[in-house]
Amino acid sequence: MNGTIGKLALVIALLFCCLVGCVGQDYRFAASETKDGFMSIFDGRSLANWHVVPAEQAGDWLVHDGLLVGKSSGKGSDLLLKTGDFDDFELKLSYRFRTPGNSGIHIRGVVGTSESHRVKGYHVDLGHVGIGPQVLGAWDFHGTPRGSVLVVRGQRVVIDESGHKHFTKIDGALTPRDIHARDWNEVHVFVHGHRLYFTVNGKMASEVTDNEAAKRIDRGIIGLQLHSGRPMTIEFRDIRVKQL
């Protein structure tokens, strides 16, 4: 009898560990899973699963009418998910700029290892209509001298083992005409192995294939950014992730 109970306890423990691993080390998200495999990581009520860096800029981020609002005086800050590291995943969210601004999404981010950036790693760049292709629709890499902008909107880049970049044009790519100025825009980010790309309103923005093992990052956090330099306000909603 004791042996049976012990085996049952072991099975339960293993199932619990699998559940935690499948949701980014936080089983609380399991209840939010939807039919398409995406789980909500913003509940529309609080920032309980998030934290701000630097801490003194915590007032930059708040929840209002079910929306996640970032409002910066110009100093800049980052809102980071507490849930641990992600490797391969898809992320969906909607954003709306209330003012001109520069924002984005940290992908496989690492905190505390860069002297130049609060969060090192890949970065989906978002900005107001008119800010330019090096921001709106681009991929950055923060914290390492790789030229910061990996690829601008409308292009794909393959980075070879030695760090050289090879660019090609994306046919039918995202243009400023596809962006809803001061209204909601839907972003879908794909992070599959060494390949990262994203769409806005269903149009491919840009793509990176990173084969430079010495500088590549394979796991990291998810976060949102308020860029320094100008006061700005941006809103987010429907933030969901699917582990692959």
Task: Return the CATH number at 127.
Answer: 2.60.120.560
Residue-wise pLDDT tens digits, 176-201: 999 999 999 999 999 999 999 999 99
Q: Work out the burial of residue 185: count CB atoms within 10 Å of its CB; fewer than 13 is exposed, 13-18 middle, 19 or more buried.
A: middle
DSSP string, 47-115: -TTEEEESGGGGGGEEEETTEEEEEESSS-EEEEESS--BSSEEEEEEEEESSS-EEEEEEEEEESS-S
How far lies 216's CA from each of 54, 84, 101, 165, 195, in Å? Answer: 25, 19, 28, 13, 11
Q: Report whether pLDDT(211) > 60.
A: yes
State how many domains the chain has: 2
Looking at per-residue pLDDT, the higher value among 98 and 13 belongs to 98
Tally of CA atoms within 13 A in the half-sphere of 108 that contains its CB: 24
pLDDT of residue 3: 53
Name the β-bridge partners of 107: 122
Identify the residue whose tokens are 């044009």: 169
The mean pLDDT value for 86-102 works out to: 97
Is 11 found in the same domain as 73? Answer: no
Is 50 found in the same domain as 4? Answer: no
Is 209 found in the same domain as 103? Answer: yes
Pairing of strands 203-210, 155-159: parallel
Is 172 found in the same domain as 96? Answer: yes
The three state secondary structure string of 118-173 is CEEEEEEEEECCCCCCCCCCCEEEECCCCCCEEECCCEEEEECCCCCEEEEECCCC
Is 216 found in the same domain as 96? Answer: yes
Is 2 found in the same domain as 123? Answer: no
The mean pLDDT value for 57-86 works out to: 96
* Confidence band of 46 (pLDDT split at 50, 70, 90): very high
Say what the pTM is.
Answer: 0.86
The whole domain housing 180 covers 34-243
The mean pLDDT value for 108-120 works out to: 91
Is 221 found in the same domain as 170? Answer: yes
Is 127 found in the same domain as 167? Answer: yes
Is 93 found in the same domain as 184? Answer: yes
Q: Token digits for 1?
A: 């009898």
Is 52 found in the same domain as 23? Answer: no
Is 136 found in the same domain as 46? Answer: yes
Is 201 found in the same domain as 133? Answer: yes
pLDDT of residue 120: 95
